């Protein structure tokens, strides 16, 4: 998965509650620490700055779609199978993101 798609996945996870804002920032920070060269937008994520109008990263401009949902569902299932996400938390995420079930191609 390319970095931009990986970052989009992080942003989707943060949007639905699988990652906290701090965890999202930590992922970006870790990437920066491990890589000498990185795109400017990863630093924006790291500093909790707006990524408005950034292709594939602005979830308003490019809403979450089935492809995004399928990646997140795999992560959720893995977390559940590893007992890192229980039914209560899974239900809370679903309840807070009722539109996550999707209509047509759009999920949230």
Q: What is the mean pLDDT of residues 82-98?
A: 78
The pLDDT of residue 103 is 36
Higher pLDDT, 75 or 33: 33
Per DSSP, 103 falls in state B
Check: pTM over 0.75? Answer yes or no: yes
Dihedral of CA atoms 22, 26, 27, 32 in degrees, nearest 10, equals 140
Between residues 52 and 107, the one the model is more confident about: 52
Give CA–CA dist 85/72, Å, rounded.
13
pLDDT one-digit tens code per residue, 3-35: 999 999 999 999 988 899 999 999 999 999 999
Coil vs helix vs strand at 65: strand
Please state the domain extents for the chain.
3-101
Tell me the average pLDDT of the chain.
86
Torsion of CA 38, 63, 77, 74, to 10 degrees: -60
């Amino acid at each position: 998965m390319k970095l931009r798609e990986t970052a989009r996945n992080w942003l989707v996870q943060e949007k639905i509650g699988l990652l906290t804002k701090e965890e999202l920032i930590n992922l970006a920070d870790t990437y920066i620490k491990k890589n000498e060269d990185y795109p400017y937008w990863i630093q924006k994520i790291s500093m909790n700055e707006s990524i408005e109008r950034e292709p594939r990263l602005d979830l308003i401009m490019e809403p979450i779609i089935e492809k995004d949902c399928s990646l997140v569902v795999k992560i959720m299932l893995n977390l559940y199978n590893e007992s890192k996400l229980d039914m209560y938390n899974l239900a809370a995420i679903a309840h807070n993101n009722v539109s996550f079930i999707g209509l047509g191609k759009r999920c949230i």
